[in-house]
């Protein structure tokens, strides 16, 4: 075997070994950097504040808590209302920074979920849900007194209980959309008995096959803000 042949073999072996080392170093370094990035990401996530219940829910995921504390003027009440999501996640009604109706309270149901508040004091007068099986919505609404604040959140199908007479009562409470609510629409609303103008706190998502987000149901709706104590 000639010297030149041996030298060529040694050089080739050296190049192969160096190449393998470089490949190994690159792989280990890349993995190490990836681990560092993941660790840093998790570290930052642990430092973040807990996610607010105001974050939109993922389908089939519920949020047991209420929204963070909201500060309003002394003559206003903070509120937050979220409709149900499809027929899987129930609605939520928060008033004066307290949850009044929601899954954690085990007091929600399909149809319309309604809370009535005494405007002057913030006292929760009554709350209930209404659908084709429960009935009594008309009597419930007729008992509302002047100055009472009314919070409404739909779940699955609000239209089945909305007769013409009931829609007119909601219009009297400040609604501009109650006439338009149809089967499986999503609707949230806050108004009051004795309001002299249209309520700005109302949202509606129409059930439309072309735009529905959750199969046969439209997107969730939510509304929040500060509502005056006296109308």
pLDDT of residue 9: 58
Pair 42, 82 in one domain: no
| In-domain check, residue 169 | yes
Question: How many folded domains does the chain comprise?
Answer: 2
Q: Which of 14-23, 108-117, 190-199, 219-228 has the lowest mean pLDDT?
A: 14-23
What does the pLDDT average to over 69-74?
86
* Average pLDDT estimate for 177-188: 97
What is the rounded distance in angstroms from the CA atom of residue 60 to the CA atom of residue 95? 24
- For 62-89, give one letter per residue: b (16+ CB within 10 A) or e: ebeebbeebebeeeebbbbbbbbbbeeb
Decide if 68 is inside a domain: no
Range of 22-26, 69-73, 189-193 with top mean pLDDT: 189-193
- Residues 31, 95, single domain; the answer is no
Q: Do both 130 and 168 map to the same domain?
A: yes
For residue 156 the two structure tokens come to 């699955």
Residues 19 and 91 in one domain: no
Whether residue 185 sits in one domain with residue 128: yes
- Asked, for residue 82, whether it belongs to a domain, the answer is yes
What average pLDDT does range 214-225 have in this prediction?
Answer: 92
Banded model confidence at residue 8, pLDDT cuts 50, 70, 90: low
Residue 47's pLDDT band (cuts 50, 70, 90)? very low
**Is there a domain that residue 30 lies in?**
yes
pLDDT higher than threshold 70 for residue 202: yes
CB-CB contact of 197 with 184 (8 Å): no
39 lies in the same domain as 91: no
Length of the chain as a residue count: 231
Return the percentage of the chain with pLDDT > 70, whole number: 70
pLDDT of 18 strictly over 70: no
Would you state the pLDDT for residue 67? 60
In this structure, is residue 207 part of a structural domain? yes
Quote the domain boundaries for residue 132.
76-228
Domain co-membership, 84 together with 192: yes
Structure tokens that stand for 159 in this block: 């239209």
What mean pLDDT comes out for the span 128-147?
Answer: 93
Residue of 190, 202, 195 lying closest to 230 (CA atoms): 195
Q: What does the pLDDT average to over 177-200?
A: 96
């Amino acid at each position: 075997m000639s010297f030149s042949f041996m030298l060529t073999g040694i050089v080739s072996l050296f190049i192969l070994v160096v190449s393998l080392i470089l490949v190994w170093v690159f792989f280990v370094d890349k993995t190490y950097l990836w681990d560092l990035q993941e660790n840093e990401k998790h570290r930052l996530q642990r430092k973040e504040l807990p996610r607010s219940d105001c974050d939109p829910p993922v389908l089939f995921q519920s949020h047991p808590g209420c929204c963070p504390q909201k500060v309003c003027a002394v003559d206003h009440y903070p509120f937050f209302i979220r409709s149900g999501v499809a027929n899987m996640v129930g609605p939520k009604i928060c008033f004066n920074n307290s949850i009044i109706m929601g899954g954690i309270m085990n007091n929600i149901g399909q149809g319309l979920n309604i809370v009535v508040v005494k405007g002057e004091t913030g006292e929760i007068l009554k709350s209930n849900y209404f659908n084709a099986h429960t009935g009594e919505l008309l009597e419930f609404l007729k008992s509302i007194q002047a100055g009472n604040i009314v919070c409404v959140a739909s779940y699955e199908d609000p239209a089945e209980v909305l007769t013409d007479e009931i829609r007119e009562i909601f219009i009297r409470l400040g609604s501009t959309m109650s006439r338009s609510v149809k089967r499986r629409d999503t609707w949230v609303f806050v108004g009051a008995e004795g309001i002299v103008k249209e309520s700005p706190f109302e949202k509606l998502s129409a059930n439309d096959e072309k735009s529905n987000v959750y199969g046969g149901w439209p997107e969730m709706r939510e509304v929040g803000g500060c509502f005056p104590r006296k109308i």
